């Protein structure tokens, strides 16, 4: 294109000319798409099922407003050619795994490409704790206040980056709901609680159980007893 700018002056005018080259591209830029992270299951194999449509809204937000078609592909060539789109949920083939995203404007045919990482996070590595035994308090009724947190290190194997909470049901432990305030006062002399261990960085949770038992205090006779001895030499001292 030839561009001409005319500047008027009182005595005439001045004309400036230049040429502009315009290249039309069918692609547009897009903002990055965040990683798609899931927690592993108890198998610990690093493989999970990902529903990629969960990322559709984020992919749409990465480009200017418009009417778009979004497809996901295993490689860049397929994304560029619009072939072999992933249909339905998929298992990751590696951990992490890169998925290529094709974002096509249905109105004008403009394309944007992006990528996202499929990541399977490990569950916290924990150990089932041994039974927690506590002595009854001064009121011999089988109930007492117990500091459950003394089992934290045993459960987490000393990992101080994990958050440990105790619950009354397995469901609450899985969801991290209704954590028991500490110290805990037992409701039965022997009972089982459920433990939730969460990694705050990944949000992944492992669970186990904790058995507690309140032991009876020894019963002693508090009556005073006296031992007599004869003072043969009247000095007030004798062997007992």
In the sheet that 68-73 helps form, which strands lie side by side, from edge to edge? 36-39, 111-121, 97-105, 68-73
Distance CA 46, CA 53 (A): 21
Rounded to whole angstroms, how far apart are CA atoms 208 and 129?
A: 8
Pairing mode, if any, of strands 132-135 and 205-215? Answer: parallel
Radius of gyration for the chain, computed over Cα atoms and rounded to the nearest angstrom: 37
Q: What is the pTM of this model?
A: 0.75
The answer on pLDDT for 69 being more than 90 is yes
Nearest to 120 by CA among 42, 40, 55: 40
Over the stretch 105-129, which tens digit does the pLDDT of each residue have?
A: 998 888 999 999 999 999 999 999 9
Does position 9 have pLDDT exceeding 80, yes or no?
Answer: no
Q: What is the DSSP letter of 101?
A: E
Which range has the worst mean pLDDT, 144-158, 160-174, 207-221? Answer: 207-221
The residue behind tokens 């590696």 is: 94
* Residue whose token pair is 């999970």: 48
């Amino acid at each position: 294109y030839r561009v001409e700018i005319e500047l008027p002056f009182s005595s005439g005018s001045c004309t400036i000319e230049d040429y502009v080259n315009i290249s039309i591209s069918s692609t547009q830029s897009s903002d990055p798409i965040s990683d798609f992270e899931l927690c592993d299951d108890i198998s610990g194999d690093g493989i999970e099922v990902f529903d990629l449509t969960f990322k559709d809204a984020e992919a749409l937000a990465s480009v200017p407003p418009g009417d778009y078609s979004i497809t996901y592909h295993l490689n860049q060539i397929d994304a560029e050619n619009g072939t072999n789109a992933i249909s339905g949920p998929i298992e990751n083939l590696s951990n992490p795994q890169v998925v290529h995203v094709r974002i096509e404007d249905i109105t004008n045919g403009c394309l944007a490409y992006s990528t996202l990482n499929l990541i399977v996070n490990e569950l916290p590595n924990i150990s089932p704790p041994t039974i927690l035994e506590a002595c009854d308090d001064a009121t011999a009724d089988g109930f007492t206040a117990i500091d459950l947190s003394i089992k934290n290190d045993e459960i987490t194997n000393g990992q101080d980056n994990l958050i440990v909470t105790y619950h009354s049901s397995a469901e609450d432990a899985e969801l991290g709901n209704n954590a028991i305030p500490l110290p805990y006062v037992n409701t039965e002399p022997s009972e089982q609680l459920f433990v939730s261990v969460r990694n705050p960085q990944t949000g992944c949770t492992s669970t186990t159980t904790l058995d507690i038992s309140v032991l009876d205090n020894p019963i002693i006779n508090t009556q005073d007893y006296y031992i007599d001895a004869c003072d043969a030499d009247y000095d007030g001292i004798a062997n007992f």
